[in-house]
Amino acid sequence: MTLGELIENCLYLAEEIAGKEETAEKEATAEKKAAAGMEAAAGMEAAAGMEAAVGKEADGIARFRGFVQSAFPVSAFREPPLRKDAARIFHIFLLEIAGERDREWGEFAGLRDVYDCRICANAIAQVCLRGILQPAAPGVFAGDRILSGAEAEEALQRLGRFLAAS
């Protein structure tokens, strides 16, 4: 899997999240208003709420796209991602699209190579903490190693499960 494909898979997940949130918000608002006997108001309010949700999600997706476009040269999009780059992508996804906040690093503060890339250190700890990426070996993240296609697929599945659970 290339860096570009990894990013596109993240964007697919983001669009999936936005669609589910829109539908759930629309249904909840419509049910509340319908129960109160205000069907017309329910329809208008649901539409307004959906537009607000779409705007919020669109902003997060736009910030995510902006990050990856500024963080990586175009030529990198055709190459397999390094583990540290995948961590940065997943981390910005968690912040901008999923609305997650950073947590204390816990046991991942002890990774021997976490500061090999100071820009990546927090991202590495955050995605390991959430189980999206795992250390390559006990106490070692191996950020300069290429993320294999199988590892990328597994990380995307873990990201999806994390999002579904939160």
All structural domains of the chain with their residue ranges? 3-165
Given a cut of 70, is residue 85 above it in pLDDT? yes
- pTM comes to 0.79
Q: Give the pLDDT band (50/70/90) at residue 125.
A: very high
Higher pLDDT among residues 76 and 35, named by residue: 76
Task: Please state the φ and ψ torsions of residue 95, each to the nearest 5 degrees.
Answer: -70, -50
**Can you give the pLDDT at residue 46?**
43
Q: Share the mean pLDDT of the chain.
A: 84
Looking at per-residue pLDDT, the higher value among 23 and 131 belongs to 131
CA distance 85 to 145: 10
What whole-number distance in Å separates Cα of residue 17 and Cα of residue 13?
6
Confidence (pLDDT) at 32: 54
